[in-house]
Structure 1
Amino acid sequence: MEHLLNQKVKNLELSGIRKFFNLVADYEDVISLTIGQPDFFTPHHVKTAGKTAIDQNFTSYTHNAGLIELRKAASEFVLNKYGQHYKPESEVIVTVGASQGIDIAFRTILEEGSEVILPGPVYPGYEPCIRMCGAKPVIADTRYTNFKLTANIIKAHLTEKTRCVVLPYPSNPTGAVLSEEELKEIAEVLQGRDIFVLSDEIYSELVFEGKHHSIANLLPSQTIVINGLSKSHSMTGWRIGLLFAREEITKHMLKVHQYNVSCASSISQRAALEALTGGVDDAIIMREQYKKRADYIYGRLVKMGLEVVKPSGAFYVFPSVEKYGLSSFDFSISMVSDGGVAAVPGSAFSASGEGHIRLSFAYSMEELQEGMDRMERFLTQIR
């Protein structure tokens, strides 16, 4: 019966991140720096709110868009943190993680033949959603602009079919962050065009210097913001994402969301409400630790003689290993088998990631130190 399946689905590849993670799972004594899973526990007061919801039998459906109290808290959070203005009644949707928010956004705005500009290298979760809409991902190489999608790069890739530009900053896999001035230049290019901006801001609370800036403040009518609590509050398994856009857009995305999942988990929504009220600054401690780790791992990689851009946010670093003459996949396999350290091949993040590897520093300093020691020994062996 396989020949009857949707060809768009059959043509999809499994995530290169997970494929490599599973591939090296059977290796013994390996320091794995592969997965973007915060190594902090969900804050205690947030867990307590979830337990209380269960004890109070708060286990029914909620409004399709989510609890109004949660949407109000989300609106206040992004207003106070980033100056974004959204009406909780009609411009906020609580989704099942940021991934579902991305999916319903694309399914609402894309049609057959639409083009979506993405910075390469890029998180691999966007391209399959785009292709399932019958649209075309257009990967714009950012290796020569410190992994930043610039106004000039966007201009070079615009066509009459361009429907959306994706700005995933802070970036997975590179840790790049766009400044306010860089966003203004992009806004000048896109202002007034029939082009959406999907601004994936899931790492917005993990900017190491200064504050996070959003293009939503410059192009409010064109921008769809994706955010959530997975990274800021270490709530990956709770699956709470937040989608923000103008009412004329969200009223249609809500239809897709409704038929897709009905609503996000009521229990998780109660926990999220506590995170966005009682835990407004929970991310600060985590961010400070990630910054220390970023400084450490960047310093070690530089001493190893690797070309690397210092991450400004999130918890990833993306050094070049091109000089060793191996594909990023072969290099990563060799480093696991001969060095005892696992990283994700850069090719998992589009062809623009080839020649690099992604290291996650969402791990303890002890693991990072041991991982860097092993990597240094490995590089000495293969020179």
Structure 2
Amino acid sequence: MRVYLNGNEAVATAVRLARAEVVAAYPITPQSTIVEKIAEYIADGSMAADYIRVESEHAALAACYGAAVTGTRVFTATSSQGLAYMFEMLHYVSGCRVPLVMAVANRGLAAPWTIWADHQDAIACRDTGWIQLYVETAQEALDTCLQAYKIAAHPEVLTPVMVCLDGYVLSHTEEIVDVPEQEAVDGFLPPYRPEYAVDPARPMVFGIGAGPELYPAFKYYQHQAMLRAQEVIEDVDGEFAALFGRSYGGLVDPYYCDGAEVILVLMGATAGTAREVVDDLRRQGEPVGFLRLRSFRPFPVAALRAALAGTRVVAVLDRDCSFGYEGVLATEVKAALQGVPGAPVVAGFTGGLGGRDIRPEDLAGIFRHCLEAVRHRNRGEGLVVSGGWQK
């Protein structure tokens, strides 16, 4: 069935199709309409779930944690300061290997106070042990939420997933979305029945204390599960494509990367603009390409290296900043390419903070800046590329 949905409605639809059994909700712009729509589904009987209204985002994730360890499929959503308020619980959930799914409608962090989008909120939670998947469209938001439940619950992963969608540009903008049939989703995503769950008939403890002799082992296996998630993300995307005819590349989504001398790397809904710019520059004969990172954690080092092999310059556009250094994605890309023979030069650009428009001419300017550096190199003048900041 093809219907007009915005990104938030697409997420809510996915949660209904996934047959989530517990939803804990606390409103915060721009994600509020996700949990409002889910409340409508529960009220009209089209979704069978317990809806828990809590007093804070911290409590929302705590309620989800408690429900999930009983073997229940759960969901919540948040943004910005709400995600920051959850920070303590993010570590509890991932450390206890609880495979829940949370949508994050990305929004800039205060101060100054803003309701507009950038990626600082989720990026600030990079090291909390959650898988982070960034989507480009409402269709991908729906499909990725379904995939996220399967990824999170994989017995070799057992790791929570954030599905990140840009606030307003994606969360509140409508597009035609292909909504799969419930029977087909049930075939892809069977009921959640974990091996380990709280059960009075089978006592079990979650969140134990551990001394120095045990603590490192817990973190080692948590890290190994995140690394294993790379293959699982690829496999689940392939399985989804076979059933529903839509694939998002798994970890990365390359566009005209083969033979490109300059490749732009970014995450999120700005990808649509980037594709248009690449098409226009290609028509002008410019050797440019684009790489969308779908998975930020786990970071897809091997896939990134393969996609960027042979290019001269990589321009990374961050919608975040690690203040006092540079954009976090730029740092990650540089680290991934460290030691690779013939690795390209990486230039970091920061833009779109606090909802600032990233226009086609902005991206075209980045490409032309990097292409000019390549031409200097071809003239034997050395290859030096400086980044930039959109003020």
Please give the TM-score of this superposition, normalised by the length of structure 1.
0.33
Task: Identify the structure with the greater strand proportion.
Answer: 2
Task: Identify the structure with the greater helix proportion.
Answer: 1
Please give the TM-score of this superposition, normalised by the length of structure 2.
0.32
